[in-house]
Amino acid sequence: MATTFLFIFPLGAFLVRFFSHLQHVFRWHRPIQVVGFLSAVAGLACILSAVNKLPGDPPNIGDTTHGAFGVFLIAAIVLQVCMGIFIFHTFDPNRDPDKFHVPTWMHRIWGYAVLICGIVQVHYGIERYGQWPSRTEAVWILFHVWFIFLGVVFVCGSILKLVLARRRGRELEGGVPRRDIK
């Protein structure tokens, strides 16, 4: 599950965030996110199987913050996948790309929320299952370094994308690229 929320889902989201100007990026976004979804479902199946094999009465999955938040997160992922399927089947390639499209923005915002919740869930898992404080503080430190790295890539990449889009807009003023004007 940590691999899904720390690597697979961010990779798919960052592809679309930073390379959406490329036509073929969605050919990669969908399969990566499907792999993430399937690995999250497989992880949930493994967790439920392991919990049911515990001796005595199996604990309620909602008894801990990690368990309750995990159930919410899986439901949020299912909703995100449903929005993605809806957008895929109703997408109009001839629509104005600058026009506000509600389903696309809902999918984007909900996706960012799922990414953040997934990272928080990994934090709860590390905390819950004894990685801090213990002799394995490296796991905790690596988690925070990766979290900061993802944040820096997102913020700096978003700023760079905005700057490049503005520069491209200035170059195209009057319909003629500036580099062609002598």
What is the residue-averaged pLDDT of the chain?
A: 83
Cα torsion through 161, 163, 168, 169, rounded to 10: 110
Domain extent, residue 149, equals 2-172
Any domain includes 71: yes
Any domain includes 180: no
For the ranges 4-13, 28-37, 45-54, 80-89, the lowest mean pLDDT is seen at 45-54
CATH number at residue 14: 1.20.120.1770
Average of per-residue pLDDT across 12-39: 87
Tell me the C-alpha distance between 85 and 75, whole Å. 15
How distant is the alpha carbon of residue 71 from its chain centre?
17
Any domain includes 177: no
Q: How far is CA 129 from CA 32, 93, 102, 125, in A?
A: 28, 47, 40, 6
- pTM of structure: 0.79
The domain total for the chain is 1
Selection from 17, 26, 117, 119 nearest residue 77 by Cα = 117
Any domain includes 41: yes
